[in-house]
Structure 1
Amino acid sequence: MTAQRVSLIGGLMVAIGPIAMALYTPAMPGVVAAYESTKGVVKLTLTLYFAGFAISQLVAGPLSDAIGRRPVTVIFAAIFCVASLGALMAPTIEMLTIARFAQGIGASAGVAISRAIVRDCFQGDESSRIMNMIGIILAIGPAVSPTIGGLLVLHVGWKSVFAVMILFGLAVALVALVAMRETLPAPQPLRLAALGGSYLRLLGNRHFMTASLTVAGSVGAIYAQATLLPFILMGQIGLSPSSFGLAMLLQSGLFFSGALVARSVMKRTSAYRLVWPGLGAIALGALFIFLLLWADDPKTFRVMIPVGIYAFGIAFVMPAMSTAALAPFPRIAGAAAALMGFLQMGAGLLIGTIGAFFVDTLVAFAVLIPSMAVVACVSYAIYRLNPHLAEPEPRENVIGAAPPGRTFLREE
């Protein structure tokens, strides 16, 4: 497939998860009232969505290595549609919680398979440019989804957000059937023992883990914030669902702007040169978030501007480090992409879960999000201990000594 087609399809596949999350967050106060439930119970519907999303990637990626990217995309899009219908018709909060978990399972394939498709077709800076384009497309959906969700809740009712999710899931399935071509170079037998061994080798590979944790500490913060910001902006500051959607434009809008700037700069230099500036922006945003600990009466912009700065930096970090993590593993690209996605989503889930134990959500936000920035910066510093002078990342199966300053990685 062409770079443009891969970018468009990959962006659509990746966007399904964040869109399902962003559409739902303005509806959460309505869910509390409709089921006469509590904020803690309704927050569980978001947490379990993350859990289904994170864990199921470990199945979707290897399954796509075995039977193909295209059929797995269709299967998981169908699961997402059925789960969305279940959420729309859920008679109790317990059924809604189960449906949200199933939605996370259905959405999980998008992240792992889109990255695997890019690895199947492209390498190096070309791959980074595709990842950047996917990021630009990805930014559009979550940018407008909270606003759309807030307007739907205001004018139609909170259940209408699930009808929109059904339509989006159907669109992903249709695109996979009509426009997507199979990119899997050679099917790999799906053996549980071999799969477990692959995951163990990836977990023990310093190159993969440091690159993936750089992504997890960066991108994972977006998912962690999704569990915290609704309760800060709507619960503590007092924004309406529609105003909450508008406030979230600062996050998605600055991520979108960062992706456009990164794309322009990548025409003149390697994507890998953008990682340190991106981490600098993430660190700056994290510092301002940390200073919220001393904010007696926080305002919307004091919360969201640091979030936007953090998101701006993510757009610089994600393309190169996503490419770097997968580069040495073409034969198990699906499994590698799945584990990277699991670490990314798992980081968001872990931080969101820890945040639930804080009495004050703003304190949780100010402490936990900066900790993710520290993970990203430290992981990248360790990653650079083995210099990669000739980016993109080392070629696999190279025999013989590496040139000075260059570390070749054997394909796992």
Structure 2
Amino acid sequence: MQDAQLKAAPTAGERYTPGQRLRLILVLGVLIALGPLTVDMYLPALPAIRDDLMTTEAAVQLTLTGTLVGLSVGQLLIGPLSDAVGRRRPLLIGVAVHIVASIGCVLAPDLAALGGMRVLQGLGAAAAAVVAMAVVRDLFVGMAAAKILSRLMLVMGAAPVLAPTLGGFVLALVSWRGVFVVLAVFGVAIMVMAAAMLPETLPQERRRRGGPLGTLRDCSRLLRDRPYVGLILVAGLAMASLFAYVSGSSFVFQQVYGLDEQQYGVVFGLGAVGLIIATQCNVRLLRRFGPAQIMTGALLGGTLSGLGLLLCAFTGFGGLVGLLVPLWLVLAACGLALPNAPALALSRHGEAAGTAAALLGAVQFGVAAAAAPLVGVLGTGATSMAVVIAGGMAAATLVALLVVRPWQVEAAPTDEGTVPH
């Protein structure tokens, strides 16, 4: 096993100088940002798209679901491909698809065309997401990987802060189609940066040569690993809570609480502050606690906060502030759970990092894709959003306790002693 060899020698990432590591984090951060920006930047425009294309709120929310489906399916395709041919080529091709799809969104004449282009956008963004995760696993394991992912989660928190706010400013100048012009330009910038600055991290001797059958064997082995399956489900359910907020917030804040597009962008950004703070606190917490301990504590706290959110939404207690406080705490819990669950899962399977990252990403965005329209089906009020958020956190906690069994994962051989504490 590749992970067993890592005990005898430092990983490639551990040999990086501080400057090289910072440069890597910056490049991976830009890649990680593509998915959240693609998903979130057009959120303030959902009511405008509904009116312009003469459709319903639930139908417009399906364009968000389409993006998440593309992110999910795309990772299943790109992950194994990156294990076979390396990380760079699938990444560059995927970003090119994203650019073309963004231009297609600009030109979309109706909701069906927009939905189709959003699926393609998700497929393209999937390349950036899965390659970034696989590169982390190529270079780091265990707590070192959790620390790098915590830094990247800063981007995952900052991107939702910037995306709706930027989208709101764009909408103040042009129509909703201008949002997709900005995404196309961002895709071009990512392609140039990745081509110039991201090295190939998967050498020829570590590439998978089994073809489709080999990929199926890898997937079968991964799915027989109970803790790995539990960990990716935990990550998916936590992501579902996050995207229940993403999909429902524009209607809740703008229609229920009367905020305009720019005010919504500011409030949405403030909600992500908890996520940002928590991800950076995670780096410090890892000095004293293991990733599984932090993940479990975060999920328990997130479940309690989700129940508080549901109570405030149902009763109207505290108005907008009463809704935002427990919501902020749920996002903070996600900021602690999301770096640690993937780090624990990927540390178990370094020999097939691309496939392991692909299954992780597919489950994350697949479950999130189911959560997004569920909010619309239940209604556009605060209670509907709170039900899905609280349910996702509670389900993630149950999976962690019953399937992952974190007291066992913390001592797993593949995560013990692989990196210096």
TM over 0.5: yes
How many residues are treated as equivalent by the alignment? 396
Whether the 8 Å CA contact 1:61–1:334 is kept in 2: the answer is: yes
* Code of the aligned partner of 1:139: G
**Equivalent position to 1:234, from 230, 236, 254:** 254
Partner of 1:259: 279
Q: Is 1:210–2:230 an aligned residue pair?
A: yes
Whether the 8 Å CA contact 1:32–1:42 is kept in 2: the answer is: yes
Poorly superposed stretches of 4+, deviation over 4 Å = none
- Mapped partners of 1:293, 1:137: distance in 2: 29
- Mapped partners of 2:129, 2:240: distance in 1: 13
Across the aligned residues of Structure 1 and Structure 2, the Cα RMSD in angstroms comes to 2.2
Deviation at 1:296, TM superposition (A): 4.6
Q: How does 1:41-190 map to 2 (within 5 A)?
A: 41-185=59-203, 186-189=206-209
Secondary structure at the counterpart of residue 336 of structure 1: helix
Deviations along 1:333-380, one digit per CA (max 9) or x if unpaired, are 111111111111111111223333224543322222111111211122
- Mapped partners of 1:254, 1:349: distance in 2: 23
- Mapped partners of 1:169, 1:385: distance in 2: 38
Structure 1 window deviating more from structure 2 (357-366 vs 17-26): it is 357-366
Deviation at 1:71, TM superposition (A): 1.0
Deviation at 1:78, TM superposition (A): 0.5
- Mapped partners of 1:133, 1:344: distance in 2: 19
- Mapped partners of 1:308, 1:385: distance in 2: 25
Q: 1:192 to 1:255 in 2, by over 3 A?
A: same
Secondary structure at the counterpart of residue 356 of structure 1: helix
Whether the 8 Å CA contact 1:237–1:298 is kept in 2: the answer is: no
Secondary structure at the counterpart of residue 332 of structure 1: helix
Q: Is 1:380–2:403 an aligned residue pair?
A: no
- Mapped partners of 1:360, 1:142: distance in 2: 20
**Equivalent position to 1:191, from 211, 230, 233:** 211
Q: Is 1:282–2:317 an aligned residue pair?
A: no
Deviation at 1:82, TM superposition (A): 0.5
Deviation at 1:5, TM superposition (A): 2.9
Whether the 8 Å CA contact 1:77–1:107 is kept in 2: the answer is: yes
Q: How does 1:296-311 map to 2 (within 5 A)?
A: 296=316, 299-311=319-331
Whether the 8 Å CA contact 2:41–2:163 is kept in 1: the answer is: yes
- Mapped partners of 1:209, 1:278: distance in 2: 19
* Code of the aligned partner of 1:395: T
Whether the 8 Å CA contact 2:168–2:262 is kept in 1: the answer is: yes
Whether the 8 Å CA contact 1:62–1:190 is kept in 2: the answer is: no
Secondary structure at the counterpart of residue 395 of structure 1: helix
Partner of 1:328: 348
Partner of 2:419: none
Higher relative helix content: 2
Secondary structure at the counterpart of residue 30 of structure 2: helix
Deviation at 1:110, TM superposition (A): 2.2
- Mapped partners of 1:162, 1:10: distance in 2: 22
**Equivalent position to 2:54, from 6, 27, 36:** 36
Structure 1: gaps spanning 5 or more residues? 397-405, 407-412
**Equivalent position to 2:41, from 13, 23, 28:** 23
Secondary structure at the counterpart of residue 378 of structure 2: coil
Whether the 8 Å CA contact 1:11–1:134 is kept in 2: the answer is: yes
Structure 2: gaps spanning 5 or more residues? 1-12, 417-421
* Code of the aligned partner of 1:378: L
Q: Is 1:222–2:242 an aligned residue pair?
A: yes
Whether the 8 Å CA contact 2:242–2:389 is kept in 1: the answer is: no
Deviation at 1:385, TM superposition (A): 6.1
Deviation at 1:298, TM superposition (A): 7.5
* Code of the aligned partner of 2:69: A
Whether the 8 Å CA contact 1:284–1:309 is kept in 2: the answer is: no
Structure 1 window deviating more from structure 2 (24-33 vs 71-80): it is 24-33
- Mapped partners of 1:11, 1:165: distance in 2: 16
- Mapped partners of 1:98, 1:333: distance in 2: 30
Q: Is 1:248–2:291 an aligned residue pair?
A: no
Deviation at 1:261, TM superposition (A): 1.7
Whether the 8 Å CA contact 2:292–2:406 is kept in 1: the answer is: no
Deviation at 1:223, TM superposition (A): 1.9
Whether the 8 Å CA contact 1:63–1:190 is kept in 2: the answer is: no
Instruction: Provide the identity percentage.
Output: 26
Q: 1:84 to 1:9 in 2, by over 3 A?
A: same
Structure 1 window deviating more from structure 2 (216-225 vs 25-34): it is 216-225
- Mapped partners of 2:406, 2:331: distance in 1: 26
Partner of 2:9: none
- Mapped partners of 2:55, 2:263: distance in 1: 23
Structure 1 window deviating more from structure 2 (73-82 vs 105-114): it is 105-114
What's the TM-score, normalizing by structure 2?
0.88
